[in-house]
Structure 1
Amino acid sequence: MKLPGVGVLHTFITDDGGKCGVITHRSGHSDLITFSDESDDKDVTKVSLRLSEDEAHTLAELLGGTRITESLSALEQMPGLSIDWFTVDYDDHIAGQPLGDLSAKGVVGLTVVAVVRGETANPAPSGDFRVFPGDTLVVAGSPEKVAKAFAFYRSGALKHATAVAGAVDSPPGASALPRE
């Protein structure tokens, strides 16, 4: 609901009958409120909490982060899938380098889901996306391939755990091909 000269009011009623709202002011701050209306005949505690723009973003991340964390937890319970975070240090091989294409280096079936830089997520980065110290890479793949990627990001070398020396990782159902 628009509040002329003030901003916008968004409200909802919780499952237990509580009334909650957020007033987003034109100035950038927000008010988190609980309230009652005339039809309420019970004693209701009213709360109003003023939040700066940064505080409102933090609260939104905390509330929304729960769903994201639950979704990631559910994904991580899938057999053969690992989702992990790699924080780039100054002495890591990948620091200052483009992300590149690990499949061209023999690690097939691994995805860099996002690169988080500060408070900004860069989803599905391309191979030419340059990675810097402090960045966090969110990687998904089999546990073995995630470990290989992390080893490469740290040292620049790929350690092959396959029985054939120098064999290239292959997609499921394909045979391993020797490196040239």
Structure 2
Amino acid sequence: MKPAAHVRKTALPGVGTRYDLNTEAGAHLSVVVHQDGRRIISFHDPEDDDACKDAAALAPAEATALSALLTPDPVAHLHQHLEIDLVTEHIPIGRRSPYAGRTLGATQARTRTGASIVAVLRRTDAFPSPTPDFRLALGDTLVVVGTREGADAVAELINGG
């Protein structure tokens, strides 16, 4: 097992906290976590820590999505040996969704797609095994389990397709 990456933490009074990481390839990344929850990821010149090459501001939901993409799957190697065609997807309820404000049962997702909505994530709360009368809200994220085709069909259904 590889040793954990070394992350340096620096308090930024009145702003938040800065986290710095130097990668094995020599890149220098920083994440500034503001007191209001915003995050800014920046890329620095490895020769000059104060020279920022580029930066991107991330809203909390974007930071969460990015962290999910960057987090290694500790059991990924096991998936190679399984002959089961199941996927888990996180599907957001956006502005175009006809189901924001409606109940989960109104989607008829399992009947129409064969995939199951096993949880709903709302801000910092998780609602496992939601019942058909659970009311969906704009910004919720549905945790869907099913075949690739079923999960894609739920995404299309939820997004009004």
Which TM-score tier does this pair reach, normalised by the shorter chain? 0.3 to 0.5
Q: Taking structure 1 as the reference length, what is the TM-score of the superposition?
A: 0.41
Question: Max radius of gyration: which structure?
Answer: 1
Q: Taking structure 2 as the reference length, what is the TM-score of the superposition?
A: 0.45
Higher strand share: 2
